[in-house]
């Protein structure tokens, strides 16, 4: 029975695909059932209710996006360059800012580790040193690449402890 079940599933799946019971993929302007906001009646209804100039400008900008049936713009994350502004650019900005924060913290901890009151400087932050570390972290991708290529960012396998199990 254990050998029969996978074969039966494979035969059924092949039959479904052969007879066209799987949905057909279509390449259209709309993505995942979304329509351009300029053509969405619900979005147009929302835009008509805009009273301030700022709201009207916002709806004019969002009319280029894709909307769902609720009339709200949706982010498209499908890898197309035409949707890069929806996710790729903000994602790279997030990674850069998170890297700055991490690199600044790393730099601060490396700067205080040799002092006699290092534990106290972790509790009560040395503001001038932290500010200097934060400014130096702005170029963290270049610094990380330089340390990685100079073998300062990684340790050799002989210095890494391994569980005896």
Provide the CATH number for the domain around residue 146: 1.10.8.110
pLDDT at 162: 87
Examine residue 29 and state whether it is found in any structural domain, yes or no: no
pLDDT at 23: 52
Six-digit token string for 42 = 């619900």
Indicate the number of domains in the chain.
2
Q: Measured between alpha carbons, how far is 8 from 88 in angstroms, rounded to an integer? A: 42
Number of H helices, E strands in the chain: 7, 3
pLDDT at 16: 62
Range of the domain at 72: 35-79
Which of 25, 46, 79 is the last residue in one of the domains? 79
- Asked whether 32 and 1 are in contact (CB, 8 A), the reply is no
pLDDT along the chain (165 residues), means of 10: 67 64 48 83 89 90 86 80 78 95 95 91 93 95 93 85 84
User: Residues 6 or more apart from 35 whose CB is under 8 A from it?
Assistant: 66, 67
pLDDT at 135: 95
Examine residue 23 and state whether it is found in any structural domain, yes or no: no
Q: Measured between alpha carbons, how far is 107 from 138 in angstroms, rounded to an integer? A: 12
């Amino acid at each position: 029975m254990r050998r029969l079940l996978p074969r039966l599933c494979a035969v059924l799946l092949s039959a479904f695909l052969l007879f066209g019971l799987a949905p057909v993929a279509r390449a259209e302007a709309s993505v995942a059932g979304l329509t351009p906001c300029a053509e969405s009646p619900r979005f147009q209804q929302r835009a008509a209710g805009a009273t301030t100039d700022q709201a009207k400008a916002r709806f004019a900008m969002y009319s280029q996006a894709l909307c769902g049936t609720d009339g709200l713009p949706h982010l498209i994350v499908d890898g197309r360059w035409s949707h890069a502004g929806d996710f790729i650019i903000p994602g790279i900005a997030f990674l850069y800012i998170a890297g700055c924060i991490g690199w600044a913290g790393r730099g601060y901890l490396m700067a205080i580790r040799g002092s006699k009151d290092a534990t106290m400087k972790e509790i009560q932050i040395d503001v001038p040193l932290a500010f200097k570390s934060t400014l130096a972290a702005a170029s963290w991708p270049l610094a990380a690449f330089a340390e990685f290529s100079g073998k300062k960012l990684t340790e050799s396998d002989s210095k890494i402890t391994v569980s005896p199990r």
